[in-house]
Structure 1
Amino acid sequence: MRSLLFVTCLMFPVHALADWAPKPVDEAELWDCVTQAGSSWHAGASCIGRFADACVEESGAYDSITVAQCHDAEMKGWDAVLNSAYQSLQADLSEPDMLPVAAEALTDAQRAWINFRDAECLSRGNLTTGTGHLEDGADCFLRVTATRALDLIGYGAHHE
């Protein structure tokens, strides 16, 4: 038991034992980045990972656990953007002038996307051994979530 505790302690970076934690990325900051980047999907994609990279720099630690924490902090912000874009698009598709199946089709697509995201990122995270799997899995969740958010933003822009 003592050896397991010792090995576990060695796996965590020194700063993880301190009070450092990544700052959550605010949804508004991501919207601002996307808006300032331009109207195309590719321009918005330049925002993906920007806040996670700054978080890692701020932490001063470049270990897998810190990187995963920073990616997760940004992913949560993108998840909020995704949810806002989804709700807005869902409301637009529920308007009387839209096909009755449009909103339902979006719901089905979103459910399928969630299953894809979970399976894809679990797979990517398990391709790496050691603590690197934490970083790879968190990076996948960040990038796949942000990409879907940009897709939904784009769908809404094309609908208007």
Structure 2
Amino acid sequence: MRLIGCLITLMAAPAAATGLRFDATPTEICLADVSDGAQSYECIGRAATDCMKQPGGETTVGMGFCLDAELNLWDGKLNGAYQALRADLTAQDAGRGDAAISLSESARDMQRAWIGFRDARCSFEAAQWHGGTGASPAFLGCAMTMTAEQTLYLWSLLHGAR
């Protein structure tokens, strides 16, 4: 995993020097326009795809830059959703009594296990490139998609749309 992290860092940094610009607007507009959680899945990757349409965005370095930028967007949303969910579940736990399994702690355990699964799955995606230049975009695309999907799942828990 450390090698993949180094590759990601090395590949994303030069993209900024090539003039690529990431704009979260396509993803944000898509999320604002959907009324159904299932449709929200169509929003994943919109901003990264637009970013990759710029000159240089089709290169491995450009793809890495764009995918990493949208991954960071979703990671921020994931952290916000997780914190809100934990607060909500902690309040629910307070009214459930000592005999009940803690919803908040169960959510924490689920999230920790999910992080390990995401990282292992995306490392596997990258490994299929056998150390080639596609490994970093493969890892980042996987991590972006899985992080977005987890965010949407947590939002569905917060809003009761399971």
| TM-score range normalised by the length of the shorter chain | 0.7 to 0.9
Equivalent residue number for residue 71 of structure 2 = 75
Structure 1: gaps (5+ residues): 1-11
Identity of counterpart residues, as a percentage? 31
Equivalent residue number for residue 111 of structure 1 = 112
Structure-2-length-normalised TM-score: 0.78
- C-alpha deviation, 1:69, in angstroms: 1.1
**CA distance, structure 2, for counterparts of residue 18 and residue 34 of structure 1:** 30
1:61 pairs with 2:57: yes
Equivalent residue number for residue 39 of structure 2 = 43
- C-alpha deviation, 1:134, in angstroms: 1.3
Q: 1:119 to 1:32 in 2, by over 3 A?
A: same
**CA distance, structure 1, for counterparts of residue 80 and residue 54 of structure 2:** 28
Equivalent residue number for residue 95 of structure 2 = 97
SS at match of 2:44: coil
User: Which structure is larger by alpha-carbon Rg, 1 or 2?
Assistant: 1
- For the Cα contact (< 8 Å) 1:68–1:134, is it kept in 2? yes
Equivalent residue number for residue 137 of structure 1 = 139
Structure-1-length-normalised TM-score: 0.79
- For the Cα contact (< 8 Å) 1:125–1:137, is it kept in 2? yes
Structure 2: gaps (5+ residues): 1-10
State the Cα RMSD in Å: 2.4
- C-alpha deviation, 1:70, in angstroms: 0.3
- For the Cα contact (< 8 Å) 2:20–2:57, is it kept in 1? no
